[in-house]
Structure 1
Amino acid sequence: MQCKAAVLETAPGPLVISDVDLDSPGPNEILIRTAAAGVCHSDLHFMEAKYPHPLPAVLGHESAGVIEAVGSAVTGLAPGDHVITCLSVFCGHCEYCTTGRPNLCTKEDVVRPADGPQRLSRGGEPMHQFLNTSSFAECMLVHEHAAVKIRPDMPLDKAALIGCGVTTGLGAVFNTAGVRPGETVAVIGCGGIGLAAIQGAAIAGAGRVIAVDRLPGKLRLATKFGATDVVDASDVDAAQAVLELTSGGVEHAFEAVGLASAAEQSFQMLRPGGTATIIGIIPFGEKISLDGYSFLRERKIQGSTMGSNRFRVDMPRYVDMYLSGKLDLDSMISGTTALAGINEAYENLKRGEVARQLITFG
């Protein structure tokens, strides 16, 4: 079948709206009619060539939709099911999957063989699928383990946010860091992922949640999501400000910007025994520098991949949190646009003017 999609032709470069062809579902694949897709900063890294990816490729990885067709071997999913997609597609039998860490799956048997027909093509020439999803398109053809069925009463535009940003931010707090009630938390960066981390800390019962950003508007938004204190990093040293606010540092600091300097600051604002969790994607090849003495006081730094998720368990729980009023997704949406407006949406993102934007499909 043919559908409209946003294609990255060259990097760095803009996205080009083009007709692309999707193959019929293979035995373990599903065809999804896309309802909404989030405009995530991760795609921007590839558009700006900060991370490499084979081209041409259909970008997008944060989405929700309705299944239209399933392959002959698919179980547990059927046409008409509402689903959220996730880039953490899992094979189910590698070492990481079988030890309870499917977010680190080696991706065995979840992509098509290179010497056969691909899921995406254009004019008879194969195209590359982005992060096993390619959701900036009217339809997606994905492995069945790249989607999870959700309640039909969940609005699909809000559900799309759970596909990456919300799961990454909440999961970093709940799964990777294991924030406990009463602990102090700082979050650097109040974009979509940072706001999700702030919400997660509040839901987890953190005693103080300190939001750090350079934009006053984002700091105001952070207080809506549970921040108890804010630090405007545009005119103060953020690490020093957090140390002073807490009389010695926080138990948990989360970096949600994707900058080496912010990662260093997250470590510097820890109290002895504290943990810094790096959520943002630091550009390929960049390094961070830390004070070696700080490790003698048992400070730690760690990475978090997609919130250490087990998405087929986590995402339905986040849906329940939203529908019960515990998780605010509505306020995270700064605006929506059709596929044709996607490059303007990324310009808004680059200016730091938004929390989360959605591409919606009629």
Structure 2
Amino acid sequence: MRAAVIHGIGDHEKLDIRDDVTVLGPGPGEIRIRVRAAGVCHSDQSARDGGLPQPVPAVLGHEAAGDVLEVGEGVDDLAPGDRVIVNWLPSCGTCAECVRGMPYLCMTHVMTGYAMPRFMAGDLPVFGMAGCGAFAEEMVVPRIGAVQIDADVPYEVAALVGCGVMTGVGSVVNTAQLRPGETAVVIGCGGVGIAAIQGCRLSGASVIVAVDTVPAKLEVARRFGATHAVTPDGLSDLVGEVTAGEGFDYAFDVVALPQTLRTAWTATRRGGSVVVVGAGRPEHQVEFTPFELLFEGKSIIPSMYGSGHPPRDFPRLIALWRAGRLDLEGMISHRIRLEEVEDALANLGRGDVIRQVIVHDAGA
């Protein structure tokens, strides 16, 4: 089959489109999936440039949907032909985090993915990003790494649910649990940011401010529910205008750079919450004084994968899409082929890009 293989870490490393790749498995408790659609996410670029840990050589990609081709021993609730969304952060159900009701913090299968190759390129073992590897025509994941959906859900729509929509909408409805009438600012208006804006709209926020350095993205944010949209240098004046200088109830930082976290902190009211949605980079540091942490009374809340539990949340997100309350088709700004993935990664910051989706089959 074909797959895009990266052989090293760094922006200079190019993806190698190979046609001699085979997928390993499925073993017991695993399923093999024919990938029909795969979203191109900022996390894919972060894995390539070293922002996120990734053993190489590797097949990147983790936001995907497709059809079950084969099931391993012990899998009796899925069959070939079933349509599924990939859950890139599957939970084991038995670790301390799972038992505490925090399946989004489970690292069991993710760590296995870092240690175990998922593909062979000729005679070269190849890892899959987060144990997945969606920039390929097939992939193998643990059974819990897939959520079955109805056959009429378009693959492209389903793929977005697997990461960007779960992360963005989940940060609002699961992590923040924003209530009707509260106010929010979303920093970063890529795919995850647009999903967070939609989450704020779904939750009944009275004010939804979109912030991005690219003016074209601000117009897109308004289309998806932002009531106001500004570049970072206009945010301070807007805080005074719409909150009488008090600040917002919630600030969602989808970028997670030191400067954006400080911006989110400043824009949040006393006693409000900064929700960290983006992954950031391990070498970055943000400084807060003990004095401001105490006297501002603000909370800094991490939102890993939208605090989601995909077997529960993916069907809910699909139901919202069916009801016309969650615009997923509109988030697909470009449909591309696998051989165009290199350009897609380079285009992630462009103003006309929300989500680029690799379509592996013309009928997807």
Same fold (TM over 0.5): yes
2:147 aligned with 1:148: yes
Q: CA deviation at 1:269?
A: 0.6
Contact 1:172 1:307 survives alignment (8 Å): yes
Q: Distance in 1 between matches of 2:256 and 2:83?
A: 32
Contact 2:215 2:351 survives alignment (8 Å): no
Specify the code of the residue in structure 1 equivalent to 2:174: N
Contact 1:90 1:110 survives alignment (8 Å): no
Instruction: Point out the more displaced range, 183-192 or 100-109.
Output: 100-109
Contact 1:278 1:303 survives alignment (8 Å): yes
Q: Distance in 2 between matches of 1:297 and 1:111?
A: 41
For normalisation by structure 1, the TM-score amounts to 0.94
Instruction: Point out the more displaced range, 23-32 or 351-360.
Output: 351-360
Specify the code of the residue in structure 2 equivalent to 1:338: R
Specify the code of the residue in structure 2 equivalent to 1:274: G
Write the mapping of 1:15-30 to structure 2, written as runs, cut at 5 A: 15-18=15-18, 19-30=20-31
Distance 1:335 1:281, change over 3 A: same
SS where residue 127 of structure 1 aligns? Answer: strand
Q: Distance in 2 between matches of 1:94 and 1:166?
A: 26
Specify the code of the residue in structure 2 equivalent to 1:214: T
Q: CA deviation at 1:361?
A: 0.4
Q: CA deviation at 1:211?
A: 0.8
Instruction: Point out the more displaced range, 283-292 or 178-187.
Output: 283-292
Instruction: Point out the more displaced range, 267-276 or 74-83.
Output: 74-83
Q: CA deviation at 1:217?
A: 1.6
Q: CA deviation at 1:52?
A: 3.2
Instruction: Point out the more displaced range, 135-144 or 68-77.
Output: 68-77
2:162 aligned with 1:163: yes
Q: CA deviation at 1:49?
A: 2.2
Structure 1, residues 37-90: CA drift from partner, whole Å, max 9, x if none? 000001111212233321101100000001011012013222111100021111
Write the mapping of 1:109-128 to structure 2, written as runs, cut at 5 A: 111=112, 118-128=117-127
Q: CA deviation at 1:293?
A: 3.5
1:286 corresponds in structure 2 to: 284
Structure 1, residues 302-344: CA drift from partner, whole Å, max 9, x if none? 2111000001110011011111111001111110110000011
SS where residue 46 of structure 2 aligns? Answer: helix
SS where residue 77 of structure 2 aligns? Answer: coil
2:94 corresponds in structure 1 to: 93
Distance 1:215 1:346, change over 3 A: same
Q: CA deviation at 1:352?
A: 4.7
Q: Distance in 2 between matches of 1:5 and 1:243?
A: 51
1:76 corresponds in structure 2 to: 77
RMSD: 1.8
1:36 corresponds in structure 2 to: 37
Q: Distance in 2 between matches of 1:228 and 1:355?
A: 18
Specify the code of the residue in structure 2 equivalent to 1:198: I
1:178 corresponds in structure 2 to: 177
Write the mapping of 1:341-360 to structure 2, written as runs, cut at 5 A: 341-360=340-359
1:299 corresponds in structure 2 to: 298
Q: Distance in 2 between matches of 1:186 and 1:113?
A: 35
Q: CA deviation at 1:289?
A: 2.1
2:320 aligned with 1:321: yes
Q: CA deviation at 1:353?
A: 3.9
1:14 corresponds in structure 2 to: 14
Q: Distance in 1 between matches of 2:197 and 2:312?
A: 21
Distance 1:297 1:83, change over 3 A: same
2:242 corresponds in structure 1 to: 245
- Unmatched segments (≥5 aa) in structure 2: none
Q: Distance in 2 between matches of 1:121 and 1:258?
A: 34
Contact 2:63 2:160 survives alignment (8 Å): yes
Q: Which runs of 4+ in 1 moved over 4 A?
A: none
Specify the code of the residue in structure 1 equivalent to 2:31: I
SS where residue 130 of structure 2 aligns? Answer: coil
Q: CA deviation at 1:272?
A: 1.2
Q: CA deviation at 1:240?
A: 5.2
SS where residue 111 of structure 1 aligns? Answer: helix
Q: CA deviation at 1:194?
A: 0.5
Q: CA deviation at 1:285?
A: 1.0
Structure 1, residues 87-124: CA drift from partner, whole Å, max 9, x if none? 1111121111122211111316983796xx84311223
1:214 corresponds in structure 2 to: 213
Q: Distance in 2 between matches of 1:65 and 1:169?
A: 22
Specify the code of the residue in structure 2 equivalent to 1:87: W
1:66 corresponds in structure 2 to: 67
Contact 2:34 2:68 survives alignment (8 Å): yes
SS where residue 349 of structure 1 aligns? Answer: coil
Contact 2:110 2:130 survives alignment (8 Å): no
Specify the code of the residue in structure 1 equivalent to 2:247: G
Contact 2:67 2:81 survives alignment (8 Å): yes
Distance 1:257 1:239, change over 3 A: farther
Q: CA deviation at 1:146?
A: 0.7
Specify the code of the residue in structure 2 equivalent to 1:10: G
Contact 2:55 2:114 survives alignment (8 Å): no
- Unmatched segments (≥5 aa) in structure 1: none
1:107 corresponds in structure 2 to: 108
Q: Distance in 1 between matches of 2:236 and 2:290?
A: 17
1:202 corresponds in structure 2 to: 201
Structure 1, residues 207-233: CA drift from partner, whole Å, max 9, x if none? 111111122221111111111111122
